[in-house]
Structure 1
Amino acid sequence: MQARGAPGTPSPLERFNAAPAQDAERDLLACLHSLRWALRVAGHRPYPDTASLLAAADEAAYDLSAKELAEALTAESLPALPEGTYTAAHTALSAAHAAYETKFGHVFVISLDGVPEEETLDRVLEDIRSRLANDPEDERVVAAEQLRRLARGRLETMLGDAGNCANSPHRAVPGH
């Protein structure tokens, strides 16, 4: 399904398909900071519909090398916690992030699509503690899947409201 503005106004997908390659690549890099991924997704334009673009983005994300995954993880930033989060929660989250980064050598990321804001902190703490039990290769696979989900959500937002992926409400909680 393609969102349309006023009659005669191109949809976000139509604008993405028609954008100069550099602009499309820049928008894609805001969704997932992997140059190869952005070049691949932009290079297969035009997409007939949003589902085709999302499928191509997923496929390209599955092909990230360990180096490309590390590059993408490095670009993720720590979002704000929900208002009213207690100091103790910030301390617990900081300690969990530090333990994760020490063990795996990269930031922790998690897609929180569909998680109510009031459950965000609990979900993050639960997942980071659970994932600390992973071995490095298993965690690389999990982190890659979380990045793919984040990129997909950001693309959906970009196409749904014609905004940039960097302005996405799809929440990620990486390390710091």
Structure 2
Amino acid sequence: MPDSTAAAVTDPGVARVNALATADFRTEFAQCLNIDRWVEALLNERPFSDRTALLDAVDAHARSITDDEVASALARHPRIGDRASGNSTESQWSRGEQSGFAEGATDVQSAFHEGQVEYEKRFGQIYLVCASGRSSEELLADLQSRLDNDPATESRVVADELRKIALLRVGKVLDNT
């Protein structure tokens, strides 16, 4: 990476991302979306000229998530309502992203839990949604509507939710200067 390009970037978050050692870049971006192909594609596009260029690349590469990559990425995500354990950045992000769910009414949370069980039986995986800023009622409505999806459609919906989570988390990486 040429030093002159990194120096020309005025966004301190993008400058930091451009300057990360390869191993550090992989670690930080795997916390955003744990798909090796996606992380490597972003790594290979560095340096980024600005925030828009980085977020556009994040979005573009996340739009091609495969069904196998969905299954792999789901392994890093807790169920909605289960608190991520540990003090890692990813665990802290997860707890914050689900904070709206924790504030919901008990009857909504109970119905949500029942819906998750049904979802897991139907699709063989956890229900995943970009929960940030969404209420328990909104999440329950989303879950219930997705139960009508066929498996292929649901896989694409989950891939898109992973994309949304990745964009949100990369924003957090950029703001961590």
| TM-score category of the 2 structures, normalised to the smaller one | 0.7 to 0.9
Unaligned ranges ≥5, structure 1: 1-8, 163-176
Q: How does 1:5-44 map to 2 (within 5 A)?
A: 11-44=12-45
TM-score, length-scaled by structure 2: 0.77
Kindly state the Cα deviation for residue 29 of structure 1 after the two structures are TM-superposed.
0.5
| Partner SS for 2:149 | coil
In 1, Cα distance between equivalents of 2:50 and 2:168: 16
1:140 to 155, 167, 170: 155
In 2, Cα distance between equivalents of 1:88 and 1:110: 20
What does residue 113 of structure 2 align with?
A: 94
In 2, Cα distance between equivalents of 1:81 and 1:155: 19
Kindly state the Cα deviation for residue 88 of structure 1 after the two structures are TM-superposed.
2.7
Kindly state the Cα deviation for residue 44 of structure 1 after the two structures are TM-superposed.
1.1
What does residue 50 of structure 2 align with?
A: 49
Unaligned ranges ≥5, structure 2: 1-9, 80-94
In 2, Cα distance between equivalents of 1:10 and 1:100: 42
Is the deviation greater in 90-99 or in 19-28?
A: 90-99
Structure (1/2) with the larger helix percentage: 2
What does residue 76 of structure 1 align with?
A: 77
Deviations 1:95-137 (A, max 9, x none): 111111111111112123454xxxx100110000000000001
| Partner SS for 1:142 | helix
Deviations 1:138-162 (A, max 9, x none): 1111111111011001111221233
What does residue 144 of structure 2 align with?
A: 129
Q: 1:49 to 1:129 in 2, by over 3 A?
A: same
Kindly tell me the number of residue pairs found equivalent between the two proteins.
150
Q: Is residue 104–residue 137 contact of structure 2 (8 Å, CA) maintained in 1?
A: no
Aligned-residue Cα RMSD (Å) equals 2.0
Q: Is residue 34–residue 68 contact of structure 1 (8 Å, CA) maintained in 2?
A: yes
What does residue 176 of structure 2 align with?
A: 161
Q: Which amino acid aligns with 2:57?
A: A
Q: 1:84 to 1:108 in 2, by over 3 A?
A: closer
Identity, % of aligned positions: 29
